[in-house]
Amino acid sequence: MAYQLADRRDVDFVLHEQLNLSDLSNYELYGEFNKKTIDLVLSEARSLALKEVLPTNAPGDLAGCSLENGKVLIPEEFKRIWELYKDGEWIATSEDPDWGGQGMPHALSMACTEYLSGANMAMYMYVALTHGAANLVEAFGSEDQKKKYLRKMYSGEWTGTMLLTEPGAGSDVGALTTTATPNADGTYHIKGSKIFISGGEHEMAGNIIHPVLARIDGAPVGTKGISLFTVPKFRVREDGTPGEFNDVVCTGIEHKMGIHGNCTCSLALGEKGGCIGELLGEPNKGMRAMFQMMNEARLFVGVQGLSVASASYANALSYAKDRVQGPNLMTMMASNPPAVPIIQHPDIRRQLISMKANVEAMRSLLFYIGSCSDRKRVSDSEEEKERLQGIIDVLTPIGKGYVTDRSYDVCSHGMQVYGGYGFIEEYPQAQLLRDCRITMIYEGTNGIQAMDLLGRKLGMKKGKAVMDLMAEMQATINEARQVENLASLADDLEQAVGKLGEVAMHMGKTAMSADVMNAFACAHPFMTVTGDVVFAWMHLWRALTATAGLEKAKKKDKDFYEGVLAAAKYYIDAELPISQGRMCAILKGSDTAMTIPESAFFG
């Protein structure tokens, strides 16, 4: 059985029919990205993913990374793929062409990422990390820093990382101990240790540019005193070529549950006193810069979750059609009934429709967030830009936290559909499940995403951003109510949106009261119910779009549109009522998590 990737038809449906992405070509910024160009880009990404990248996934997972004689060795197959990414200019797909990017819409870039990351998540992380680090230089760097780093990073000649986490700090970034001591020439001596650094050391590129969080001598404690620095593996000469080694030493690599092909390093900076960094942006404003990168990185993690979930679903669907085992339930009492493909078995069908519904909602949501960013860039209205950014901000913790929670569920179902074979590393489902698990942890754990939603996004602009999002939902509900076969689904979603509004008000008030600890103990359930309702909205929107498509569909497209409608009906009929129960539980409240004595957890 050939291993599968995301369904191209649904990718086209979201981009062209649900989001009308090619309309952006009416604006000068995206003038070349008409439907024909978008389709060509997608075809190239999918072809590269299937023909070149996917065959390296299992071997790279098996080989993993190693540290030998001070050198980090990554899977040999990855070096050729990196060259293909460089040649195809896949490293800076949505970035400014003036610095070597392709300037494509963010939603299209996300679609390409779904294919390339789904084909080999560990390998594509080198691309994403480089892209994210270069974005920081572009956003906060001086002209000299941009000239020094950007083209080489966006082209893939050099790679990038992010040095944030420390052994004693973890998610508490303000507790970092890495120091930056000013030099007379305006540079800084950097000294400290960082851990969990993806892509932190390898020889796949001529240099590695590390954006590093550190505290300048005498700066305030906590996050207020953190600054951001560029620290290259090799110092950069005047002519732009790599020069002297910059005292950034890999002291170990992590042996992980998944993403074996990506080297996760511990790095020591300045142990011999020779690590030189340049300030990136303003002193003591490193966290502000960091959050800009983190918001983008969190959405990328959501796309990672989508990519492995969509691959797991595609594999499971193909396997269920081919795998013959047991009789159909309706004929099992007959004499010698024939075995049938397992897709005929009710429990398999239950899992497949759940996988389909979740994957399709993830795709629509993430591409929608990307399209909001694209529409913001071409808008002439400051008010509209602010509205779109508010929606992006509210949906970012959902796009990272909720999506990856559901991605792991999908990958777990994907293993279950295979049965015992799913648990065997010979088949792809085990690796997809292992790789997926990290998406719930890095770039801010999903618990942190939930705290962000409750503590920052819920009250943003006095609640306007949330209300703007709910207005978008209501517009879809009003439109769907005019369609006979969607009216009941619209009513169900409207009821859920109203209930979510009640829960949001309750959570907001509780978080501002003496009961704040109990409120944050419910932050993750709150993120879950918010994500449930957002997914239901995406499905109703998809159903509206599919209903319009059915009216003029050719025979080959009718099954697809019927599938979209079936997934929407399943999700709103079968999944959304569960969310109503969760919302009732939040409103009822329980203080047990916070009042149970710590000793009671053990005895």
pLDDT tens digit sequence for 57-103? 999 999 999 999 889 999 999 999 999 999 999 999 999 898 889 99
Torsion sign (Cα): 466, 469, 471, 474: negative
Identify the pLDDT of residue 426: 92
Torsion sign (Cα): 360, 366, 369, 371: negative
Identify the pLDDT of residue 2: 64
**Cβ atoms within 10 A of the Cβ of 363, count?**
29
Torsion sign (Cα): 301, 307, 310, 315: negative
The C-alpha atoms of residue 146 and residue 432 are separated, in whole angstroms, by: 37
Query: Which CATH homologous superfamily contains domain 8-155?
Result: Acyl-CoA dehydrogenase/oxidase, N-terminal domain (1.10.540.10)
Please determine, for residue 27, whether its predicted confidence score (pLDDT) is greater than 90: yes
Per-residue pLDDT reduced to its tens digit, 66-76: 999 889 999 99
DSSP per position, 532-552: HHHHHHHHHHHHHHHHHHHTT
SS3 category, 268: strand
Domain spans, the chain = 8-155, 160-284, 459-592
- CATH architecture, range 160-284: Beta Barrel (2.40)
* CA 241 distance to own-chain centroid: 33
Contact 169, 176 (CB under 8 A): yes
By DSSP bridging, strand 159-160 and strand 208-216 are: parallel
Active site residues: 443
In angstroms, the first-to-last Cα distance of the chain is 50
**Cβ atoms within 10 A of the Cβ of 25, count?**
18
The angle subtended at Cα 301 by Cα 368 and Cα 311, nearest 5°, is 80
Within this chain, domains 8-155 and 160-284 share the same CATH topology: no
149-153, 257-261, 287-291 — which is least confidently predicted? 287-291
Per-residue pLDDT reduced to its tens digit, 154-170: 999 999 999 988 886 65
Rg over CA atoms, the chain = 25
Look up residue 427 and give its DSSP letter.
Answer: S
The C-alpha atoms of residue 328 and residue 305 are separated, in whole angstroms, by: 34
549: closest CA among 38, 17, 34, 21?
Answer: 17
Token reading at 328: 């159909």
The C-alpha atoms of residue 66 and residue 264 are separated, in whole angstroms, by: 10
Residues 6+ positions from 549 with CB-CB distance below 8 Å = 13, 17, 557, 561
The C-alpha atoms of residue 1 and residue 322 are separated, in whole angstroms, by: 8
Q: How confident is the model over 428-435, as a mean pLDDT?
A: 97
**Cβ atoms within 10 A of the Cβ of 601, count?**
7
Per-residue pLDDT reduced to its tens digit, 311-349: 999 999 999 999 999 999 988 888 889 999 999 999 999
Identify the pLDDT of residue 577: 97
Q: Which amino acid is at 483?
A: V
49: closest CA among 88, 5, 106?
Answer: 5
